[in-house]
Amino acid sequence: MENYRPITKATADRFLQLLKTKGPQTAATLAAALQITGEGARLQLLKLAEEGLVVSATTSKGVGRPVQLWNLTPLGHAHFPDNHAELTLQLLETIREELGEEALEAVVAARELQQQNKYMVALEGITDLADRLNQFAIIRTSEGYLAEWKAEEDGFVFIENHCPICCAATKCANICTSELRTFKNIMGDGVNISRSDHIIAGDRRCVYRITFAKEGVQV
């Protein structure tokens, strides 16, 4: 341990982001992704565990030795942007209490329109669906969603590994409905979009499945 180099913020961020985007990982997998030794990864993870950011659990996968998987703790998840969650919650509650539920719905609708207009401008001229998803992922990542996408046999999958507005969405379900509606509108006609995983429902991430609505169109 005397040769252990103190963990830097940049290194810690890389470990935390991998666990956030990829889910529970072994020290060996993290070491390979970060191009460091397995022992180095293990020592870094132990340091993060001391800080309360990660935790390990041993699991068995069929025949063979048990595997130790590392994952984020609630404090580790809180390391990522929350867009001033406390203030947002206060504002939502104030609107609901002082102006009523209809006023809150009007605010959510206004935000939805603003978001759609913003994304439409950013995606203007991009007609290929894969290119559109790629640019949208870049935009959403810049907003704190840690977004990525991939092609599948029947369409695409769009993944958001973090929800920077999770606290607000927990208090106002219409926000999540609005997010899905926005996604559908900016991707245009000819596709079906459904949310298969949902952070608010207890899943690790939000996953959207995009399939072509018209028969005979190939991915």
Q: Residue 21 sits in a domain of what CATH number? A: 1.10.10.10
**Rounded Cα gap, residues 98 and 193, in angstroms:** 35
pLDDT tens, residue by residue, 127-184: 999 999 999 999 999 888 999 999 998 899 999 999 888 888 888 878 899 999 999 9
The structure tokens 């048990």 sit at 66
Q: Are residues 140 and 38 part of one domain?
A: no
Of 85, 80, 110, the residue nearest 174 (C-alpha)? 110
pTM: 0.68
The verdict on residue 85 lying in a domain is: no
**Rounded Cα gap, residues 175 and 62, in angstroms:** 41
Cite the beta strand spans of the chain per DSSP E.
54-59, 67-72, 147-152, 155-160, 191-197, 206-212
Residue-range definition of the domain harbouring residue 56:
9-77
pLDDT tens, residue by residue, 8-65: 678 888 999 999 998 999 999 999 999 999 999 999 999 999 988 899 988 876 666 7
| Residues in contact with 203: Cβ distance below 8 Å, sequence separation at least 6, in sequence order | 197
Q: Are residues 196 and 103 part of one domain?
A: yes
Q: Are residues 168 and 70 part of one domain?
A: no
Q: Are residues 137 and 101 part of one domain?
A: yes
